[in-house]
Amino acid sequence: MARKTCVLSIITCGAGPAAAVGELVSLALGRGWTVQVIATPSALPFFDARRIEEVTGSPVRSQYSKPGAARSRIPDAIIVAPATFNTINQWALGLTDTYALGVLAEQTGLGIPIVVLPFVSDALASRPPFTRSVQALRAEGVSILLGGDGIRPHPAHGEAGVANEFPWRLALDEAAEMTGFGA
Ligand SMILES: Cc1cc2nc3c(=O)[nH]c(=O)nc-3n(C[C@H](O)[C@H](O)[C@H](O)COP(=O)(O)O)c2cc1C
């Protein structure tokens, strides 16, 4: 029997498109996902967390819980969007100094399908540490939608216009491809 809903964690980082993460939330809800949003501390100033909580019915998490507090649900899939240079590099190295990185570290190890929409300038994307991080995460089965049919790095200092056209749908289509849910 077809599943009625699956849980999608949206992990959002501190870059321009985070201001419109509500679009991704709405699209995901429209495709039947139950959505929970996790933000890095740098992402929080970009969007209205209360509004997202109203729409999803779940708290926006950005910090580790106190011992004994309720934990987020283990999701069926994760979308990291927008994913910053910082989070991608730290994640690839196994660093966990934000709650978002802690979740990514553990849930990559659990083999949960993960889709990433990076938002980085061409200057940052050309750096060998970033290239190595993308390669390392892909080798662990993470789907990073960069280059090819995915997103292209934006010109340094020219990100504003590009942020308005962020291709949220690509990430949802890829999550559907990986899980068989939410097409
Ligand atoms: C207005 C603004 C725009 C930013 N745009 C980007 C961006 O496009 N890509 C990026 O990787 N970092 C961008 N940054 C820098 C990140 O927010 C910064 O590296 C931060 O440490 C990322 O933390 P996080 O990965 O935990 O979200 C931007 C910062 C600000 C304030």
Q: How far is the CA of 94 from the centre of ligand 1 (A)?
A: 19
Assess whether the C-beta atom of 16 lies below 6 angstroms from ligand 1: yes
Distance CA 24, CA 30 (A): 10
Q: Which atom of ligand 1 is nearest to the CA of 154?
A: 8
**Partners of residue 30 on adjacent β-strands:** none
Sequence ranges of the domains in the chain: 7-64+72-179
- Give me the DSSP letters along 109-159: HTT--EEEEE--BHHHHTSHHHHHHHHHHHHTT-EE-BSTTSB-PBPTT-H
pTM exceeds cut of 0.85: yes
Q: Which residue in 41, 25, 42 sits closest to 33, CA to CA? A: 25
| Percent of the residues in the chain that have a pLDDT greater than 70, as a whole number | 95
Tokens for 5, please give them. 């809903």
How large is the average pLDDT for residues 154-182? 86
Q: How far is the CA of 84 from the centre of ligand 1 (A)?
A: 6
| Ligand 1, atom 26: closest residue by C-alpha | 40
Tokens for 13, please give them. 């980082």
Assess whether the C-beta atom of 84 lies below 6 angstroms from ligand 1: yes
CATH tag, 7-64+72-179: 3.40.50.1950
pLDDT reported for residue 18: 97
Distance, C-alpha 22 to centroid of its chain: 13
| Ligand 1, atom 14: closest residue by C-alpha | 15
Mutate-to-test residue for ligand 1 from 13, 61, 84, 103, highest number of ligand atoms within 8 A of CB = 84
pLDDT reported for residue 158: 67
pLDDT digits 0-9 by tens, 45-60 = 999 999 999 999 999 9
Residue 85 in this model has a pLDDT that exceeds 70: yes
Assess whether the C-beta atom of 159 lies below 6 angstroms from ligand 1: yes
